[in-house]
Amino acid sequence: MIRVDSSLCLGCQSCSNVCPSEKIARSEADGRITMRWKSCNEKRDEGCDLCVRACPTKALSLAAHDGAAAECEASFDMAVCKICGSRYATESMLKMIESSLPAEIQKDAAGLEWTRVCLQCRRNVEAKRLTGQILPGRRTKDWRCSFLFTAGKRGLYPGRMRLLYDLIIFVVFRI
């Protein structure tokens, strides 16, 4: 049967991925990840030990049957993305990543801690950065942005021209 050291377990998908008899279940609900290792008949030094070898932190081991606790369970908090607020990875996975990467690359040039940002937002940040680099001020230097118009998110807005119109109409109708 499988013994789990829950202080080492990251809540990743390794063991549930490699188990040929699908005895390991990983489920995600309400911002928590729950791992369940069902009882399994494999013994130490014989039979299948795929999950033990796949575990990135060596949290699993095979032990002899003692009948007491046949099933193990562990649940993990998921980290919240700093930008969009979605839950994307377990806290312990991120801690493991932060401890094994050099500290100087864990913040980008803008000072953003990218490990605490979800994958979608990382790509968005990168897209924005590249746009700013290659096309500096495509909008602000738009030739259409004169005194009368301002360029906005969805094209040109009447801007000050509209104010001028309103003023003229107001004055004309008063006379």
By the criterion CB under 8 A, which residues form the site for other proteins? 10, 12-14, 17-18, 54, 56, 88-89, 93-94, 96-97, 100-101, 105, 108, 114-115, 118-124, 126-128, 130-131, 134-139, 141-143, 153-155
Q: Please, are residues 36 and 73 in contact by the beta-carbon 8 Å criterion?
A: yes
Q: Which is nearer to other proteins, 65 or 141 (CB)?
A: 141
Q: How far is the CB of 52 from other proteins (least distance, A)?
A: 11
Q: Which is nearer to other proteins, 27 or 167 (CB)?
A: 27
- Tell me the C-alpha distance between 137 and 141, whole Å: 6
Q: How far is the CB of 82 from other proteins (least distance, A)?
A: 14
Q: How would DSSP label each residue in 131-147?
A: HHHHSTTTTTT-TT--S
Q: How far is the CB of 72 from other proteins (least distance, A)?
A: 18
Q: How far is the CB of 81 from other proteins (least distance, A)?
A: 11
Class of residue 55 by CB neighbours under 10 A (exposed 0-12, middle 13-18, buried 19+): buried
Q: Which is nearer to other proteins, 143 or 170 (CB)?
A: 143
Q: Which is nearer to other proteins, 18 or 161 (CB)?
A: 18
Q: What's the residue count for the chain?
A: 175
Class of residue 155 by CB neighbours under 10 A (exposed 0-12, middle 13-18, buried 19+): exposed
Q: Which is nearer to other proteins, 130 or 169 (CB)?
A: 130
Across 88-111, b (16+ Cβ under 10 Å) vs e yields bbbebbbebeeeeeeeeeeeeeee
Q: How far is the CB of 109 from other proteins (least distance, A)?
A: 11
- Tell me the C-alpha distance between 38 and 13, whole Å: 15
